[in-house]
């Protein structure tokens, strides 16, 4: 029993000494009590849907929901009664233009017919608009590349 108490005490002291010698620095600098300044407001991509040659944004990990490469300002709010995303993305063709169709997971069979699963109507829960901004911190992340 004494041996366990001595080991526990030694471990505790080692941890305390280790914490005392390491300094922790916040991302905004050492003074964590300084006033936190809000970052500059970034603009979302303002390209209108279907205008020009919009490229799909590559996914960075397997299973990632597609990102929205155009503005959605005029299509909000998205409600169960009104969802302008469905106007274009219910199929892969809209007024002769190729659009990405909603994934099969967004549909369900009702009386033998395929319909949109309205439990998934709130598109922006998973599919988000992109801001053209540099990363907040330096990183060496390499995303998933679909082959």
Q: For the chain, percent helix, then strand, then coil, each to nearest 5?
A: 25, 10, 65
Average predicted confidence (pLDDT) for the chain: 80
pTM over 0.75: no
23 belongs to a structural domain? no
3 belongs to a structural domain? no
7 belongs to a structural domain? no
113 belongs to a structural domain? yes
20 belongs to a structural domain? no
63 belongs to a structural domain? yes
Q: And the tokens for 89?
A: 């993305």
36 belongs to a structural domain? no
pLDDT at res. 127: 92
Q: How far apart are CA 88 and CA 141, in angstroms?
A: 33
Phi, psi of 44 (to 5 degrees): -75, 155
Q: For residue range 20-52, what is the model confidence (pLDDT) as tens digits?
A: 656 666 676 666 677 777 777 777 766 777 666
Identify the H or E element spanning 98.
strand 97-98
Residue range of the domain that includes 121: 43-129+143-147
112 belongs to a structural domain? yes
Highest average pLDDT, of 13-22, 26-35, 72-81, 88-97, comes from 72-81
Q: And the tokens for 105?
A: 């997971």
The number of distinct structural domains making up the chain is 1
Asked whether the beta carbons of 130 and 42 are under 8 A apart, the reply is no
Q: How far apart are CA 24 and CA 138, in angstroms?
A: 18
Percent of the chain at pLDDT > 90 equals 8
Across-strand partners of 93?
A: 98
Q: And the tokens for 10?
A: 């030694």
Provide the CATH number for the domain around residue 67: 1.10.1130.10
């Amino acid at each position: 029993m004494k041996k366990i108490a001595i080991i526990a005490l030694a471990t505790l002291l080692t941890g305390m000494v280790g914490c005392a010698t390491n300094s922790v620095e916040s991302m905004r600098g050492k003074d964590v009590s300084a006033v936190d300044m809000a970052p500059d407001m970034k603009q979302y991509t303002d390209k209108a849907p279907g205008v020009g040659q919009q490229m799909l944004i590559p996914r960075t990990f397997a299973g990632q929901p597609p990102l929205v490469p155009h503005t959605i300002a005029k299509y909000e709010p998205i409600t169960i009664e009104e969802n302008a995303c469905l106007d274009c993305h219910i199929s892969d063709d809209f007024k002769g233009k190729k659009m990405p169709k909603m994934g099969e997971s967004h549909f369900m069979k009702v009386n033998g017919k395929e319909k949109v699963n309205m439990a998934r109507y709130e598109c922006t829960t998973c599919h988000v608009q992109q801001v053209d901004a540099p990363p907040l911190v330096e990183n060496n992340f390499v995303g998933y590349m679909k082959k």
